[in-house]
Structure 1
Amino acid sequence: MTNAPLLLVGFCAGLASALLYASAASGSVLAIFLFYIAPLPILIAGIGWRHHAGLIGAVVAALALGVALGPTGGLFHAVAVGLPAWWLAYLALLARPGATESQTEWYPVGRLVLWTAVIGALLVTLSIPMVGTSLDEYRGALKALFGRVFETAPATPGLPEGEDRARLFDLMAALLPIMAALLWTVSSLVNLWLAGRITRASGRLIRPWPDLSAMTFPRTASYGFFAAMLGSFLPDLAGLVAELFATTLLVAFTLLGLAVVHVTTRAMPTRGLILFGVYALLLIQPWVGVFLAALGLAEQSIGVRKRFGGPPAAPTP
């Protein structure tokens, strides 16, 4: 009977995730939002009731969608939603003994961020062979898809015609996989943060809430980012895959840059205004993330926080 709550939580989380995932079929704006929070129930189960509950949720969701939408629907959920959410929940609670008996070293937040970035790029990479086996074939299939969508959609004033429309489809085909990897990474990070806050509020979070501004990346992260940037100049699909990893790692380094801003502004009287401005700019003009990522890379190289940081933040209860 001791496993009954865990099984029940996992079962309910799986059904909730499956419903959120299936809601995308309606095509509404709300449905798209619900689709992107489909990992949240599994993350909550995995973090609040240990990773076993998260794994049960992933399996239940895949089976439910397999019955409702067919084997492909269940498989897609398992690969893109269920198993990644279970893995992130598992890592979030991974721990080892610290320097003393009373200390515990929890899995670093920075490595969780990097895992999310790598998984986001990897999932889009795995989907590429299902569309095309070369870059031209892949983008050609995407352009054909856009053409069918625009043909069936209601007439939109201002939509270009002829060569201008073809150029628009070329741009969309080039950006779609990159945007997909970016959105998966960002939404997974938001879901992971939400799951942590929810389980903490409920009293079920067993690890202390980390100081996010103190997160660090291993040195190999910057090497991987620069390798992906160089790899993006490769021809055909190899260049596209490298672009995906460069994009999602850029998101990770943008977060590291934000952590640097949080630390280096602690002693400033206008800190609240500065942070508000940075986040507002990032939402309104996402390209600002490039400068934050550069700050994150500088942190990797010269330790900006150690050189210019303010006093340590008070520990989070």
Structure 2
Amino acid sequence: MTNAPLLLVGFCAGLASALLYASAASGSVLAIFLFYIAPLPILIAGIGWRHHAGLIGAARAAVAVGVAGGPTGGLAHAVAVGLPAWWLAYLALLARPGATESQTEWYPVGRLVLWAAVIGALLVAAAIPLVGTSLEEFRGALKAMFTRVFDTDGAATPGLPTGDDRARLFDLMAALLPIMFALLWTVSTLFNLWLAGRVTRASRRLIRPWPELSAMTFPRTASYGFFAAMLGSFLPGLAGLVAELFATTLMVAFALLGLAVIHVTTRAMPTRGLILFGVYALLLIQPWIGVFLAALGLAEISIGVRKRFGGPPPAPRS
């Protein structure tokens, strides 16, 4: 497939993305997983065959979804899946001359992570006016949706509370749903971006060297943006909700930076493998641990934790 025409690669990637996107209609657990990897074919095309193939794939997928599910579905795929995947693939291959003629400076991995976080918040924020023009209307529409889903044929779903407790549960779900969507989009996009890089590297289509992920850095302005979003989350109305979205997705980005710090600072420890296993296991079992990882990421920007406490650098890749 290394000699496949660019148009064919983009066409196939777009068709695969459209099929993965449409699989969510079945409602099964597997279908939800397939839905979240819908950007993967476009990312692979964009990184392995340059961003032109990714753009063709994004357009082809939008047309396919639009034909099958109507123009609204095609537009939704383009905005939420196709164009973000193309943009990240485009950024991943951006490069400029380095300090010497033989060096190339590639787009930093840390900035790709920040882009994914910002896009994740923007997409959910852009969808809010489609549901309601005020915070009360937005959450009221979500609670009405929960009532339709969980109270079928006028009967309450067994296992759920009733009365005031049920109303409070729906209030909590309405408050958390947009935040969870933004978080899941950010995490799944970063996973898809990493997987696309591994696939293209394994097939020798990756033109940039594989980056040292534990060495990724964020600009200092990222911490200012995070604190601004945290403060903005106390604002009333939709402004506070939008700020919460950015605070959540940026927290994901800083948690990844915190993981990078742990990878570097444990290099010289004999129990490094056990420590890393424990950290990742805790993160899966108790996701709130990400708050402490984000704080570690913020500390890295402020005082340079890796530089102060990091072990020796890894051996050069062959």
Relative to the length of structure 2, the TM-score reads 0.97
Deviations 1:139-187 (A, max 9, x none): 0000000000112389643211111111110000000000000000000
Aligned to 1:276: 277
RMSD: 1.3
1:185 partnered with 2:186: yes
Aligned to 2:253: 252
**CA distance, structure 2, for counterparts of residue 151 and residue 28 of structure 1:** 20
SS of equivalent to 1:45: helix
Amino acid aligned to 1:201: A
Aligned to 2:102: 102
Deviations 1:46-65 (A, max 9, x none): 00000000000000000011
**CA distance, structure 2, for counterparts of residue 272 and residue 123 of structure 1:** 37
Aligned to 1:112: 112
Aligned to 2:295: 294
Aligned to 1:312: 313
Amino acid aligned to 2:94: L
Aligned to 2:207: 206
Aligned to 1:142: 142
SS of equivalent to 1:133: coil
CA, structure 1 residues 146+316, in 2 after alignment: closer, same or farther (shift >3 Å)? farther
Aligned to 1:233: 234
**CA distance, structure 1, for counterparts of residue 193 and residue 163 of structure 2:** 44
Aligned to 1:84: 84
SS of equivalent to 2:96: strand
Contact 1:229 1:242 survives alignment (8 Å): yes
Amino acid aligned to 1:124: V
Contact 1:260 1:304 survives alignment (8 Å): yes
Amino acid aligned to 1:85: A
**CA distance, structure 1, for counterparts of residue 148 and residue 300 of structure 2:** 46
**Cα distance, 1:313 vs structure 2:** 1.3
**CA distance, structure 1, for counterparts of residue 163 and residue 281 of structure 2:** 38
Amino acid aligned to 1:158: G
SS of equivalent to 1:287: helix
Contact 1:210 1:316 survives alignment (8 Å): no
1:157 partnered with 2:170: no
Contact 1:211 1:316 survives alignment (8 Å): no
**Cα distance, 1:4 vs structure 2:** 6.4
Relative to the length of structure 1, the TM-score reads 0.98
**CA distance, structure 2, for counterparts of residue 291 and residue 262 of structure 1:** 15
Amino acid aligned to 1:51: H
Deviations 1:64-120 (A, max 9, x none): 111100000000000000000000000000000001111000000000000000000
**Cα distance, 1:19 vs structure 2:** 0.2
Amino acid aligned to 2:140: G
**CA distance, structure 2, for counterparts of residue 297 and residue 146 of structure 1:** 37
SS of equivalent to 2:151: helix
Q: Bigger shift: 158-167 or 87-96? A: 158-167
1:13 partnered with 2:32: no
Contact 1:211 1:315 survives alignment (8 Å): no
SS of equivalent to 1:96: strand
**CA distance, structure 1, for counterparts of residue 288 and residue 317 of structure 2:** 31
Aligned to 2:48: 48
Amino acid aligned to 2:178: P
SS of equivalent to 2:312: coil
Aligned to 2:39: 39
Aligned to 2:22: 22
Deviations 1:168-223 (A, max 9, x none): 10000000000000000000000000000000000000000000000000010000
**CA distance, structure 1, for counterparts of residue 184 and residue 152 of structure 2:** 26
Contact 2:151 2:157 survives alignment (8 Å): no
**CA distance, structure 1, for counterparts of residue 229 and residue 160 of structure 2:** 35
SS of equivalent to 1:63: helix
Amino acid aligned to 2:314: A
Amino acid aligned to 1:80: A
Deviations 1:234-287 (A, max 9, x none): 000000000000000000000000000000000000000000000000000000
SS of equivalent to 2:287: coil
Question: Structure 2 regions of 5+ residues with no counterpart?
Answer: none
Question: Structure 1 regions of 5+ residues with no counterpart?
Answer: none
Contact 2:14 2:59 survives alignment (8 Å): yes
**Cα distance, 1:138 vs structure 2:** 0.3
